Amino acid sequence: MDNLRFDGRVVIVTGAGAGLGKAYALLFAERGASVVVNDLGGSRSGDGSSSKAADAVVAEIRAKGGKAVPNYDSVVDGDKLVQTALDNFGRIDIVVNNAGILRDKSFARISESDWNLVHDVHLKGAFKVTQAAWPHFRKQNYGRVIVTSSNSGLYGNFGQANYSAAKLGLVGLCNTMAIEGRKNNINCNVIVPTAASRLTEDILPPDFFAELKPELIAPVVVWLCHENCEENGSIIESAAGWATKCHLVRGSGILLRHKITDMVSPENVRDVWSKLTDMSQASRLNSIEEASSTLLGVIDEIKSGPQTKNENISVFDYT
């Protein structure tokens, strides 16, 4: 079996002083990459800073014969992280946007500063670091980007409205970066991890926590960043030595009017609600073009008259 190697590749892992980021940095270095170990070294809620976390991981990588340098800037200063890569290794190939904090509060109690800081670290940080690397990716016709979402973003979680919003924002960011990067061999994917770390130590039950080693997720992220991996624009969930792909899906829908001259009333909507929300025939759409083209099909169908009339609709005829 050919080993997957990263010799000559330069990777920035943000928030690599602990938890998942540390596991990613160690595995990339073990596979020959030169690693910028970024970590602000603050508290779980984003207060303070320290060089200790990044320094410890760099020391560990070097002790094992790997190549790494520390960077202590916040991800919101993304250009400084990329400059560290260029100054020390002369290039940048891979950005793993992993840095994160929590400021959990019920929705009613979220302050504007909690909202802003959570969005700054997760969403703006990923934007700034990746955008600073982007021109280099385009010039060399190669780049790999990971953004880190969460099941809290995909499904919601009590007390995490600020975090959920930022985490689903990262999916949107990745969706479009994947489209714009494709022609330059820049692949962007989302990782949705569940792992034992200081972010989850008081959230996950102890038995479950013990089985969720970050090292079990690192190989998934490392593969997604390899030059042989063609995955692009996907959401990959991983935990406990398991991984899968996640999709948004759309139901098959229901016509709310019979003729192109008909209007739609709230009562029409109410009367077909169970069919409108039926997901038994749900499917995945691959692009915004596909979403638009099905709408064109809907208009054609209304113009030519539906094959089977929906008896639930009592259409108001405005003609």
Q: Do 120 and 104 form a contact (C-beta atoms < 8 A)?
A: no
| Mutual angle of helices 78-89 and 125-140, in 10-degree steps | 40
Active site residue 24: no
The residue (of 47 and 289) whose beta carbon lies closer to ligand NAI is 47
Sequence-ordered strand ranges (E) for 227-303: 235-239, 242-246
Q: Is 53 in the site for ligand NAI (CB under 6 A)?
A: yes
Residue type, 36: V
**Lateral strand order in the sheet of 67-71:** 67-71, 34-38, 10-13, 94-97, 143-148, 186-193, 235-239, 242-246
CA distance 84 to 37: 10
Q: Which one of 25, 27, 33, 41 is in contact with ligand NAI (CB under 6 A)? A: 41
What residues form DSSP beta bridges with 70? 37
The residue (of 98 and 268) whose beta carbon lies closer to ligand NAI is 98
Q: Which one of 58, 99, 222, 225 is in contact with ligand NAI (CB under 6 A)? A: 99
CB atoms within 10 A of CB 283: 12
How is residue 318 written in tokens? 């405005």
Task: Using CA atoms of 149, 169, 115, 21 in order, give the dihedral in degrees to the nearest 10.
Answer: 30
CA distance 32 to 66: 7
Q: Which one of 101, 171, 190, 313 is in contact with ligand NAI (CB under 6 A)? A: 101
Q: Is 170 in the site for ligand NAI (CB under 6 A)?
A: no
Q: Is 222 in the site for ligand NAI (CB under 6 A)?
A: no
Residue 13, phi then psi, degrees to nearest 5: -115, 120
How many H-runs (helices) and E-runs (strands) does the chain carry?
A: 12, 8
Residue tagged active-site, from 24, 142, 163, 318: 163
Q: Is 169 in the site for ligand NAI (CB under 6 A)?
A: no
Cβ at position 208, least distance to ligand NAI in Å? 10
Q: Is 123 in the site for ligand NAI (CB under 6 A)?
A: no
Residue 168, phi then psi, degrees to nearest 5: -75, -30
Cβ at position 97, least distance to ligand NAI in Å? 8
Cβ at position 198, least distance to ligand NAI in Å? 5
CA distance 237 to 198: 20
Site for ligand NAI in 132-151 (CB under 6 A): 148, 150
The residue (of 130 and 150) whose beta carbon lies closer to ligand NAI is 150
Q: Is 195 in the site for ligand NAI (CB under 6 A)?
A: yes
Q: Is 15 in the site for ligand NAI (CB under 6 A)?
A: yes
Judged by CB under 6 A, which stretch of 13-21, 173-181, 254-262, 291-299 contacts ligand NAI? 13-21
% helix, strand, coil for the chain, step of 5: 45, 15, 40
Judged by CB under 6 A, which stretch of 59-67, 97-105, 260-268, 301-309 contacts ligand NAI? 97-105
Active site residues: 163
Residues in touch with ligand NAI (CB under 6 A): 14-15, 17-21, 38-42, 44, 46, 53, 74-75, 98-101, 121, 125, 148, 150, 193-195, 197-200
